[in-house]
Chain A
Amino acid sequence: MRIKKTYIVLTFIFALCASFAFFSPGKNTKIIVPKGWPKPLYDFSKNPLTEEGFKLGSALFYDPILSHDNTISCASCHLPFTAFTHADHSLSHGIGGKIGTRNSTALMNLIWSPSFMWDGGVNNLEVQPINPLTNPLEMDSQLPELVLELNQSPKYRKMFYRAFNDSVITSQLLLKALAQFTSQLNTYNSKYDSIMRHEKNVAFTASEKNGYALFKKNCSSCHTEPLFTNYSFQNNGLPIDTFLMDYGRMKITQNSKDSLKFRVPTLRNIEFSAPYFHDGRVNKLKDVLEHYTTGIAVGPTVAESLKSKIELTKQEKKDLIAFLKTLTDKYFMYNSRFRYNYSEVAKD
């Protein structure tokens, strides 16, 4: 009798261990670092990527449950079709038609970024979502209430359990789950990349080639290859919007030397990420070039590289834009893995 009991207990313990092993996150998701690129700054050791984590992050990213009145999701302002930014909206929109103060940024290659937001106020990819989640002009949620709501969802409890071996959802796990998704939004398969990798049957046209030369001469000191940003904060000579009165980086550092400085954005997929600049004030690439050639307001903090006038002929502008379009990565833009319902489609 006693032996039988012991067997039952042992079998039970064994079954318990086995079920843990079954659901334990498999380390089956790898991040690719293209040759010649720097090492990613995001610390994956504290959030090892898994397919279950990615599916969960993707489900959360597209779910309006994250907003206070369940009307908008992350994807409302970060659409996959437009390199994860909000096309046609200069300033991002929140719940109840509220309008924010800055242009939503394109979400790409975030694991290489040392800071986040236009003013660099956020220091880690994982804590960035707290801003849109809690900003009253955006999703207007409170983390404790949101966590409570997610814990009431059998679907999410199951998904969190599969991703993190824990069905008790906390704000820490919510943020780690979102990072499982956003850390994988990486783009490195544009025409430009193919050419740099010396792949067969791909070459710049004469116009693109000339554009690349012009880019290297006039733009690359800030929009440095291969990420097309050096992640610095610069005043690119945009006159201040007198309604928004946004002084950018100075709000974070309290230092007047940072007045009107904003984080240099990447130029990858720029063909689709309009509108441009921190307040989305222009819609077309030709208008961006118009600003850099004729619109620079030379104030005390303006970028050194913009103090002397950039001159481009009409043809040179066309060439430069032709080059910029070679930064479009169709594998990234049309990747079904990044789309809505991936977690449903990819059910195991």
Chain B
Amino acid sequence: MKNTLCFLLLAGIHFVQAQDILHLKFSPEFKNAALNTDSLYLTSKGDSIRISSFRMYISSIEVIYKNGTTFKEKNSYHLLDIDDISSFDLELPASINNVQKIVFSIGVDSLASVSGALGGDLDPGKGMYWAWQSGYVNLKIEGTSPSCKTHKSEFGFHIGGYMHPFYALRTITLPVANTKEIEINIDLARFFENIDLSKSNSIMIPSKEAMKIADSCAKIFSVK
């Protein structure tokens, strides 16, 4: 009995080991400094800012190989949250050899947005769900800046929307070198490049302005 159990256990471990794990590591930064919620950063528009919250959905991850095959992650929704830095490290049960490109989306697709109450990273209690206008916030950046003439100098960008004409999901394709670990920079300096915080400091609904910011969200990623 004992022997049988041991055998099953070892076989199980062996089976897991036999699978490749492709590490996908996102590194949140501001220019070339690591992003955290304590530091002061200077945007290219000249606003000094502190970031108190940064959360985003990475979804529909695909790994495209040189031989033309593709790995598509099932149920691919990941909430990355600066308060839980381990959430930026993803593991995919995909082959690590001959990777050519990686494709992913920022945000939650329309199918998941209309599918009722979901769980895991899509749990509506995660603070990334709009109750009054069903749908997920794809990306949330909050903080303070003396440039903001607002209550407590706060700014907040809640970028989302799954319905035309305010469809905020953006898909990113990045070429990658053949490696066991793919490291992708998220540079929030680029997010603030076109934002003048004295004029634009609060976006909380799917709107024209939110779509412009969604476009710039697509530019914050680069491969290390």
Contact = CB atoms under 8 A, between A and B. Distances in A.
Main secondary structure, interface of A, reads: helix
B207 A254 contact: yes
Interface string B46-68: 00000000000000000000000
Interface string B130-142: 0111110000000
Interface in B54-102: none
Interface centre among B119, B129, B133, B135 (most CB of A within 10 A): B133
Contacts, number: 76
Given A122-B134, A171-B123, A2 B118 contact: no
A28 interface: no
A24 to B, nearest CB: 19
A5 B1 contact: yes
Interface string B111-139: 00111111100011100010111110000
Contact of B1 (A9, A47, A124, A135): A9
A127 B124 contact: yes
Contacts of A153: none
Given A2-B1, A131-B131, A131-B132, A124 B114 contact: yes
A123 interface: yes
Interface centre among A9, A46, A125, A172 (most CB of B within 10 A): A172
B124 A171 contact: yes
A119 B117 CA distance: 20
A6 B3 CA distance: 13
B4 to A, nearest CB: 10
Interface string A90-113: 000000000000000000000000
Contacts of B125: 142-144, 147, 170-171
Given A2-B1, A6-B1, A144-B125, A127 B117 contact: yes
Interface of A: 2, 5-6, 9, 43, 46-47, 117, 121-127, 130-131, 134-135, 142-144, 147, 170-176, 179, 252, 254
15 contacts: A5-B1, A9-B1, A46-B115, A123-B114, A127-B117, A127-B134, A130-B124, A131-B132, A143-B123, A144-B125, A170-B123, A171-B125, A172-B117, A176-B116, A254-B206
Given A124-B115, A173-B119, 8 more contacts: A46-B115, A122-B131, A125-B116, A127-B131, A130-B129, A143-B124, A171-B117, A171-B125
